[in-house]
Amino acid sequence: MLKFLLQRLASTVPVLFVVALLVFLVLRLGSGDPASIIAGDSATDQDLAQIRQSLGLDRSLVEQFVIWLGNILHGDLGYSFFQHKSVAELIGQRIEPTLSLALGTLVLAIVIALPLGTLAAWKMGGWLDRALTCFSVAGFALPVFVVGYVLIYYFALVLKWLPVQGYHRLEGWDDMGPWAARLALPWITLGLAYVALIARITRASVSEALTEDYVRTARAKGLGEAIVLVRHALANAAVPIVTIIGIGIAALISGVVVTETVFAIPGLGSLMVDSVLNRDFPVIQGLVLFFGASYVVVNLLVDLSYLILDPRIRY
């Protein structure tokens, strides 16, 4: 297992390098000049030259990339052009709302989708199976921002059950209620497509497992249907389900950006949007690397889970 772990860690290095290179080139070669945005419309050419020199923008692309990459290897993600703070500090300030949103969505989706997909496979062709198919199509078809605004209108403005926007920081047990209330609508908004994805894959995997000989043997031994579904069908269908959960993290990361914007949550997603509008290169590059590294770590954990879920993979 240690050799497998080291191999997987080594394979992530070129992936992150390519991601860093592409992000750097896209931002630098795109239109717009951060020095002009910082200086304002009344700035002279001399002012622009001084700003570019102070920010290192007057160097060649190769020099800028090498310096930036060297700083990253030393744990320095850069310094924001506009907020005058280090990128690492900005990420530390904004990471709590994003983690609360992403992890809450993930837990909610798994808790709902696994039983839903398993029952749909058990009663394949029934009303639950057909309802899951319709729900999956709707979950994938509806954009996140449309679902968010509909939920805000109905549950926050019409029924007045939940707050409209914002985030309440979790500092103690007394904050659990306001914290969950602020995140309830974002969790549902972001979790809709994720539930549809996991439930559909669960249904397909479990339905295939139910046709295997070991399931017929378990039923022939007189085991209850719940034990057959959970301990035999769902357990043996776990590998593709875990795989799609890991793949769905990419959609979850991209959905966080839109959801935080809709619900005015001060997380990494809203920080990304503000940085793109301001062409704050260091912050954008740091956030993309952070999201990329998070996705790589998730996929590494998924690969390691295969060794536990299916012992045959060890050999």
Residues 61-110 pLDDT 10s? 788 888 888 888 888 888 887 788 888 899 998 999 998 998 899 899 89
Pick from 139-143, 153-157, 165-169: least confident:
139-143
The average pLDDT across 15-35 equals 75
Same domain for 69 and 209, yes or no, is no
| Neighbouring C-beta atoms of residue 33, cutoff 10 Å | 13
Same domain for 217 and 268, yes or no, is yes
| Total tally of structural domains belonging to the chain | 2
Q: Looking at the DSSP assignment, which residues form a beta bridge with residue 86?
A: 79
Residue 66 lies in a domain: yes
Instruction: Fill in the amino acid letter for 42.
Output: S
Q: Element (H or E) spanning 180, and its range? A: helix 176-209
| Neighbouring C-beta atoms of residue 249, cutoff 10 Å | 20
Same domain for 159 and 58, yes or no, is no
Residue 85 lies in a domain: no
Same domain for 130 and 190, yes or no, is yes
Residue 15 lies in a domain: no
Same domain for 115 and 63, yes or no, is no
Residue 233 lies in a domain: yes
Residue 26 lies in a domain: no
Alpha carbon distance 170, 246 (integer Å): 27
Number of residues that make up the chain: 315
Residue whose entry in the numeric block shows the structure tokens 């000989």 = 213
Find the domain containing 113 and state its range.
Answer: 90-314
Dump pLDDT digits (tens) for 253-309: 767 888 888 898 898 888 888 888 887 878 888 888 888 888 888 887 887 787 777
Residue 162 lies in a domain: yes
Q: What is the pTM of this model?
A: 0.81
Residue 8 lies in a domain: no
Q: Looking at the DSSP assignment, which residues form a beta bridge with residue 79?
A: 86
Residue 150 lies in a domain: yes
Q: Element (H or E) spanning 169, and its range? A: none
Same domain for 119 and 264, yes or no, is yes
